[in-house]
Structure 1
Amino acid sequence: MTKWHTDIHKRKKSGGKKGAHRKKRRHERGRDMIYCVLGEPERVTIRIRGGASKQILKSDRFANVYDPSNRRVIRTEILGVRSNPANSDFERRGVLTRGAIIETKLGDARVTSRPGSDGVINAVLISAAASSPV
């Protein structure tokens, strides 16, 4: 069901309702949240305001991890979601958002991209694994 982000039905000072003086606009439509989880790579392309398009990542197993020690980006597999400060429920469900701490083969990394808007998982290594051959 479409969610509307509109304010055409305001209230008067007296508390009474004002009638809408125009129709709803297409750009005022919203949508349900699509949560990015671990799994086979799956993306959804949606139309956004102005006719442009946006890639929404529904699930992925890989992340582009930046290693600050040798200044390289390595595409590596995600083993799991360690923590998610955005929402403790996301942590339990394994939802990937910006700021989530993920476990990779290289070590723990913090997600720096917005998978729901960018369509890709980028991360920065915060602790290297003891046995990582870097």
Structure 2
Amino acid sequence: MSDAAILDTPAFTCGLDATLKVISGKWKPLILYFLLRGPTRYGELKRAVRDVSDKVLIQQLKELEADGVLTRNDYREVPPRVDYTLTEMGQSLARALEPLCAWGTENMAEMQALFAARDGWGRGKRG
């Protein structure tokens, strides 16, 4: 890497900062989670990551590919067949997210109640 390229590369404040640069985006952690199961076709990902638009899913897949986290495999067939696979680095990142998934599962009911209460704050009387 040239000295100019190193100077243009953003410095990270810590390891978490570097991680968040890769997984930033509403859907990227879910994409990584579902790809940990193995090669996955676009349609399967679209069904698994509910509520994501095609435009955003495609954009986030391209960003993850550019970041070296996944590979896009185009089989050049008719009808088209494409799937996505985590790279070795992507697998390690997805496994690092597993404790967050476990925490969410353990605390899901409490979080749902808290979010419902918080969402109700804006619906009360205004004085």
| Same fold? TM cut 0.5 | no
- Higher Cα radius of gyration: 1
In terms of fraction of residues, the more strand-rich structure is 1
Structure (1 or 2) with the greater helix fraction: 2
TM-score normalised by structure 1 residue count: 0.19
TM value normalised by structure 2:
0.20
Higher RCO structure (Cα 8 Å, ≥6 apart): 2
